[in-house]
């Protein structure tokens, strides 16, 4: 090896090391004054969120937000679980309740009730953090009442299994809602009008119409349903059949009622009355926009995905999903699922000022839940805001007034459904239960398994004993 070659090699290794250190960047982060936030946001939504970040950093000079787009919701969960094992977790993150049930085992999930109830305090800001600024940390009773009740209650500790084992009490608040979506019924208004039909409001009506639709439009399918799991869980909720519960035994879905319903679905599937995302191979909005020639007349999908149902091929409409009839007393036959990201806070293992860091993180949460920001984010995302006063923000009022926008109409319909929203209890295994009942529905409807076998396998695979 020549001297020149050695010098080139040493220099190259030095440059490579510099690039690796620069790429890592972790050593340059001041975790005492940097709030790490994980989300699933794409580029467009990150640009909107930057407004909240800018507002926060302007109010509290010296404090920074490090916003990291991790991937999908499961990617966020997997990264947080990994980070928690090494004390590298973020301060704030997007979450689903069943993911938080996993995080709680580490005793690093914070009780947000502590900050919601907090009054005025002072925080250190400015150059060298020598300037004291008085802030109001928590929410007033009026501000708490401004949250959509169904969304706000999702984060209460009793909705999480074994919450007392992790230091929480019945008044603890483990998550706060960010923006939410639900399921809606999108329909081909032209097709229904041509048949002299009104929009189906019950499942019985929908199946009666399905036979007529097949006769009138033989190449069209009456119904496309995007989420098999949501369908199964919603029918359990609307009929009081039992899906899961927070306490042991967790799994209730393997029962005679669900077996009978899956058998009925198999008959409707054989008649060509419906398809689902797994069966079709994609979101059924792709069918819906085709119209009566090879498309779907009805489609049940997320309110947050309304833009994918938009089409100029026919006159469309949006309604709430069908209800169940003749249900037992105390059961809400019109129940609809509440989905979408919530926010969870973590204890920070990488700072020397944990108490101050918690307060500053919650102040950033307040920026994300500010009605004006909620309006901007909801307009871009198509999700519904968690604060009721958002509907009075002029920009959001203007957005909702656009009757030609399917996203606007979907938001309006979803707004009328807030008293019927439900969420399932969160526990270790609740996420897997959701996956398994969706699989059971597909197996049963397609005849790959008898309903009894499909449900028994789902129960076992979810961890039932």
Could you write out the DSSP letters of every residue in 205-236?
HHHHHHHHHHHH-TTSEEEEES-HHHHHHHHH
Domain, as residue range, for 91: 23-174+341-382
Asked if residue 398 belongs to a domain, the reply is no
Helices (H), 60-148: 73-85, 97-103, 113-116, 141-146
Q: Which residues pair with 56 in a beta bridge?
A: none
Asked if residue 86 belongs to a domain, the reply is yes
Distance of CA 294 to the CA centre of its chain: 31
Provide the strand spans (E) within 126-174: 131-136
Asked if residue 399 belongs to a domain, the reply is no
* Residue in this structure with the two tokens 């979907």, named with its chain if needed: 410
Domain count for the chain, please give it.
2
Tens-binned pLDDT, residue by residue, of the chain (465 aa): 455 444 444 444 444 444 444 444 445 899 999 999 999 999 999 999 999 999 999 999 999 999 999 999 989 999 999 999 999 999 999 999 989 999 999 999 999 999 999 999 999 999 899 999 999 999 999 999 999 988 999 999 999 999 999 999 999 999 999 999 999 999 999 999 999 999 999 999 999 999 999 999 999 999 999 999 999 999 999 999 999 998 889 999 999 999 999 999 999 999 999 999 999 999 999 999 999 999 999 999 999 899 999 999 999 999 999 999 988 899 999 999 999 999 999 999 999 999 999 999 999 999 999 999 999 999 999 899 999 999 999 999 999 999 999 999 999 999 999 889 999 999 989 989 999 999 999 999 999 999 999 999 999 999 998
Same domain, 194 and 324: yes
**45 contact partners, CB below 8 Å, separation of at least 6:** 39, 377, 380, 381
What secondary structure does DSSP assign to 393-442, as a single string? SHHHHHHHT-TT-HHHHHHHHHHTTGGGEE---B-TTHHHHHHHHHHHHH
Same domain, 316 and 457: yes
Neighbours of 34 (CB within 10 A): 19
Same domain, 54 and 118: yes
Same domain, 196 and 167: no
Instruction: Tell me 33's DSSP state.
Output: S
Asked if residue 390 belongs to a domain, the reply is no
Same domain, 65 and 126: yes
Same domain, 350 and 331: no
Same domain, 284 and 371: no
Same domain, 196 and 307: yes
B/e letters for 373-398, b = 16+ CB within 10 Å, e = fewer, are bbbbbbbebbbbbbbbbbbebeebee
Same domain, 146 and 189: no
Asked if residue 14 belongs to a domain, the reply is no
* Residue in this structure with the two tokens 């704030």, named with its chain if needed: 92
Same domain, 65 and 97: yes
Burial (0-12, 13-18, 19+ Cβ within 10 Å), 287: buried
CATH assignment at residue 80? 3.40.190.10
Same domain, 356 and 415: no
């Amino acid at each position: 090896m020549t001297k020149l070659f050695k010098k080139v090699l040493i220099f190259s290794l030095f440059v490579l090391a510099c690039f690796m250190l620069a790429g890592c960047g972790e050593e340059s982060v001041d975790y005492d004054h940097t709030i790490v936030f994980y989300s699933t946001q794409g580029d467009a939504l990150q640009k909107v969120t930057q407004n909240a970040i800018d507002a926060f950093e302007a109010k509290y000079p010296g404090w920074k937000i490090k916003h990291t787009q991790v991937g999908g919701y499961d990617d966020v969960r997997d990264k947080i679980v990994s980070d928690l094992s090494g004390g590298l977790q973020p301060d704030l993150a997007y979450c689903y309740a069943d993911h938080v049930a996993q995080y709680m085992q580490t005793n690093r999930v914070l009780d947000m009730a502590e900050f919601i109830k907090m009054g005025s305090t002072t925080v250190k800001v400015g150059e060298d953090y020598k300037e004291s600024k008085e802030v109001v940390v928590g929410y007033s009773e009026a501000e708490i009442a401004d949250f959509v009740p169904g969304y706000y209650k999702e984060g209460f500790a009793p909705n999480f299994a074994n919450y007392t084992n992790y230091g929480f009490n019945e008044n603890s608040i483990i998550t706060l809602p960010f923006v939410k979506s639900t399921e809606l019924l999108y329909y081909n208004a032209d097709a229904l009008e041509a048949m002299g039909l009104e929009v189906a409001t019950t499942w019985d009506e929908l199946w009666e119409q399905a036979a007529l639709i097949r006769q009138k439009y033989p190449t069209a399918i009456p119904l496309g349903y995007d989420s098999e799991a949501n369908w199964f869980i919603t029918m359990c909720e609307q009929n009081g059949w039992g899906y899961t519960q927070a306490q042991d035994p967790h799994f209730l879905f393997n029962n005679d009622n669900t077996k009978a319903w899956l058998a009925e679905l198999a008959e409707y599937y054989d008649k060509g009355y419906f398809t689902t995302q797994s069966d079709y191979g994609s979101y059924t909005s792709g069918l819906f926009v085709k119209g009566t020639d090879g498309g779907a007349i009805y489609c049940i999908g997320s309110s947050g995905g309304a833009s994918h149902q938009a089409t100029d091929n026919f006159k469309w409409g949006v309604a709430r999903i069908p209800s169940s009839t003749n249900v037992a007393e105390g059961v809400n036959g019109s129940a609809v699922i509440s989905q979408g990201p919530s926010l969870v806070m973590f204890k920070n293992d990488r700072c020397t000022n944990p108490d101050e860091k918690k307060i500053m993180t919650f102040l950033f949460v307040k920026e994300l839940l500010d009605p004006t920001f909620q309006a901007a984010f909801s307009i871009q995302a198509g999700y519904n805001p968690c604060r009721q006063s958002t509907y009075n923000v002029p920009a959001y009022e203007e957005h909702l007034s656009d009757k030609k926008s399917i996203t606007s109409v979907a938001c309006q319909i979803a707004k009328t459904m807030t008293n019927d929203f439900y969420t399932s209890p969160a526990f270790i295994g609740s996420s897997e239960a959701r996956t398994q009942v969706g699989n059971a529905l597909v197996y049963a409807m397609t005849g790959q398994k008898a309903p009894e076998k499909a449900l028994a396998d789902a129960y076992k695979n979810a961890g039932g004993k």
